[in-house]
Amino acid sequence: MIICRTPFRVSFFGGGTDLPEFFQKNGGAVIGTAIDKYIYHTVSKFPSELFEYNTKIVYSKIECVNHIDDLLHAPFREILRESNIIKDIEIHIAADLPSYSGLGSSSSFSVGLLKALSRFRGINITPLELANEAIRIEREVLNEAVGCQDQTFAAFGGFNLIRFGPGSSISVEPLLISKEKMEELSASLIMFFTGITRRAASIEADKIKNINTLNDNLKSMLHIVDEAYELLISDKPLSGFGTLLNRGWIEKKALAAGVTSNIIDEIYSTAMQNGALGGKLLGAGGGGFMLFFVPPEKRDKLKKSLNHLTEIPFKMDAPGSSIIHA
């Protein structure tokens, strides 16, 4: 049995500039981190001669079929097809956090399955190859309206500045900051689950459809990435990180109508009134997890003000998709 562990991610700055429709002409960049919350894939050879079916897939449902074309779960079906595996396989998945919640779980699923199936086939795959293959399948085979940061964080792991384009290139630069600064940043970040799950594709599709009218917003977000990078590698106080998150959230809300809601705005306002210096809704928008930057001495006050939400502790700089048993 092969077990693959693939991280989810928290994106701080630059979301939206990772859409090829933007970065192929303008360049794009994001700052974010893989976190210690994972999706797990187990893959094993299935003894089809003992059963009436030759493929078994277990997620929130169980599918047992004789032809992968009959699989209802489209990412499973198409990734198996693209990996040239059509029978005699059993796959199970489990995850630390719910899907459709803004932490890149859909792309972590794709990356993790591709990584596990590569090992199943005896093929070595680099993180960049893994990210590019997941991007290709999601965008070109599944026709999903997605950017390119989630697959890259899932494949590479780490706390990174990722640059996209111009053209189709992707480069990953680990953010090497001092242990003390990393500890201060970690102590200043807090994440809550809103209880709202949503599919990001429709929101991202709206952004892509209106990409030409969003250039100014996305360029502003790109500039914020540069400012955040300079702040992180300098001796400037980390309070500026919160201010930049707030600026980025204002720009992000202008990208599509479905990014925020009255409930999300109320949560954000409450956090800002109780010590947060900035924050954002993670992922494309509409629901999922909210992240805030709050000085450690005001953390308890903020938590009390949002005690109707579930806090999700996390650690930054998690490793990329890895085979943990084979």
8 and 107 assigned to the same domain:
yes
For position 216, what pLDDT does the model report?
Answer: 86
Sheet holding 289-293, edge to edge: 278-281, 289-293, 189-193, 310-311
pTM value? 0.93
For position 248, what pLDDT does the model report?
Answer: 93
The parent domain of residue 25 ranges over: 2-176+317-325
Centroid of chain to Cα 13:
12
For position 254, what pLDDT does the model report?
Answer: 80
30 and 170 assigned to the same domain:
yes
Tokens of 284: 């494309």
How many domains are there within the chain?
A: 2
For position 213, what pLDDT does the model report?
Answer: 77
Low-confidence stretches of the chain (pLDDT < 50) are none
14 and 125 assigned to the same domain:
yes
CATH number of the domain residue 307 falls in? 3.30.70.890
217 and 153 assigned to the same domain:
no
69 and 152 assigned to the same domain:
yes
148 and 214 assigned to the same domain:
no
For position 212, what pLDDT does the model report?
Answer: 75
For position 198, what pLDDT does the model report?
Answer: 58
For position 258, what pLDDT does the model report?
Answer: 72
CATH number of the domain residue 141 falls in? 3.30.230.10
Q: Under 8 Å CB-to-CB from 107, ≥6 apart: which residues?
A: 134, 138, 146, 150, 151, 154
Sign of torsion over alpha carbons 13, 16, 18, 22: negative
For position 130, what pLDDT does the model report?
Answer: 98
171 and 125 assigned to the same domain:
yes
For position 202, what pLDDT does the model report?
Answer: 58
140 and 13 assigned to the same domain:
yes
Residue labelled with tokens 């990409």 = 211
For position 189, what pLDDT does the model report?
Answer: 98
For position 99, what pLDDT does the model report?
Answer: 80
For position 181, what pLDDT does the model report?
Answer: 94
For position 170, what pLDDT does the model report?
Answer: 96
